[in-house]
Amino acid sequence: MISKALEVFAKSVGMKAAEDCVYGVYGGFFMTVTEKKSTRTVEVSCYIGDSDEYTDDYVSINEAIRNVLEKYSITDYAVDENYVSVKSHAELSVFREMIDYIAGMLDSVGIYKSDHCSKCGEVFKDAADKRVVTLKNAKESHKHLVCGECALAYAESNGSKADQGAEKTEEKLGKGLLFAVLAGLLGAAVYALVCWLLGVNGRMDMFRFAPCLFGILIGALITYVYRVAAGKYSVKSLVLLSVITGVITVLAHYCGCVLGFIKYLSAEKGIYPSSSFSALPSVMKMQFTDPYNLPFFIIGSVIALCCAYIALIFVYGTHLKKKASGKKMDVSIQRVK
């Protein structure tokens, strides 16, 4: 929602007030003004062109804005191929002066005004050819003054991306689970190997719990490899991945306890590896019966499981974040009357 002051400002300069912004032609340029608390942002929709081809224009605009950073309390700005955006926390009266300055500066640089399309740079054929295209997602919204052809290109581009995305959304559950299990077993092998190298035993030494952190590796491998192999996640696959992660993590910790204890017998008790492995069945049972090994097995399993599920949640959350950031903007087209 815009403030009452900004709404009054819009009417005074001939702009239109919308729910989240004011927009219109001011100083010869199509502008959009948004506000958030005490900060306002003006975005000028204008064709500047490629930065390599029009380097001098980019340099002139950047220098002109940098020269007034303090004067107009500018906190951030951006110059792109088809817009200039300036953010300021100045009072509304000063903010208006800043807009006047920006419009005059762009005009002096030779930037096309609102009689040109901000996307292709061509002169509008007539008033009926003008379109206001709004690109919007959950985080931001942009309005551009473009010609009918460019407006259609925005819409078609948006639709084609949606179609491409739909083609890639088929989930290959069986393939994904197979590779996830293989990846989990690889992580479990690394987990057990670390326990073997450290000679983990059932004595309650905090250092002995260090290999449990490798539960992160198991959870991350299972979740990430599934995504690569299957193409997407679903509620069903996430439940199955949680079960697979839990089983493989506990199995990895159990194997690590057994191998670590065998290494402990060899290193600390002087029992040769061949003799140690011959006692493997007894060592395997000890993990559930020995008063030292059982608590270590239980506590270590809990720690490893926590690490694995944290990794699962992190990898899945990262995927959701990337998916959201890469999601196309909604496109709406409005004919200028």
Asked if the model's pLDDT at residue 274 lies above 70, the reply is no
Half-sphere CA count of 215, side-chain side, radius 13 A: 28
Class of domain 4-167: alpha beta
How many Å apart are CA 297 and CA 287, to the nearest integer?
Answer: 7
Q: Which two tokens stand for residue 34?
A: 């948004």
- Condensed to tens digits (0 to 9), the pLDDT of residues 221-247 reads 999 999 999 888 889 999 999 999 999
Max CA distance (Å), the chain: 94
Q: Which pLDDT score is estimated for 83?
A: 92
Give the residue-averaged pLDDT of 279-301. Answer: 71
* CA neighbor of 130 nearest in space, from 119, 141, 138: 119
Q: Which two tokens stand for residue 65?
A: 């804005």
% of the chain exceeding 70 in pLDDT? 82
Q: Which pLDDT score is estimated for 271?
A: 54
For the chain, the structural domain boundaries read 4-167, 173-325
Angle (CA) 328-332-333 rounded to 5° is 135
Give the residue-averaged pLDDT of 258-267. Answer: 74
- Condensed to tens digits (0 to 9), the pLDDT of residues 126-160 reads 877 899 998 876 567 789 999 999 998 888 776 54
Q: Which pLDDT score is estimated for 167?
A: 42
Q: Which pLDDT score is estimated for 318?
A: 87
Sheet of 83-88, strands arranged across: 16-17, 22-26, 29-36, 39-45, 83-88, 74-80
- Condensed to tens digits (0 to 9), the pLDDT of residues 44-70 reads 999 998 878 889 999 999 999 999 999
Q: Which pLDDT score is estimated for 262?
A: 77
Q: Which pLDDT score is estimated for 50?
A: 85
- Residue 8: in which H helix or E strand, if any? helix 4-12
CA distances from 190 to 63, 176, 218, 267, 299 (A): 55, 21, 9, 21, 20
Output the CA torsion 103→107→110→114 (10° steps).
70
Q: Which two tokens stand for residue 116?
A: 């040109």
- Condensed to tens digits (0 to 9), the pLDDT of residues 147-204 reads 999 998 888 776 544 344 444 457 788 999 999 999 999 999 999 998 888 877 655 5
State if pTM tops 0.95: no
Q: Contact, 172 vs 229, CB < 8 A?
A: yes
DSSP character at residue 132: E
Give the mean pLDDT of the chain.
84
Q: How many Å is the Cα radius of gyration of the chain?
A: 31
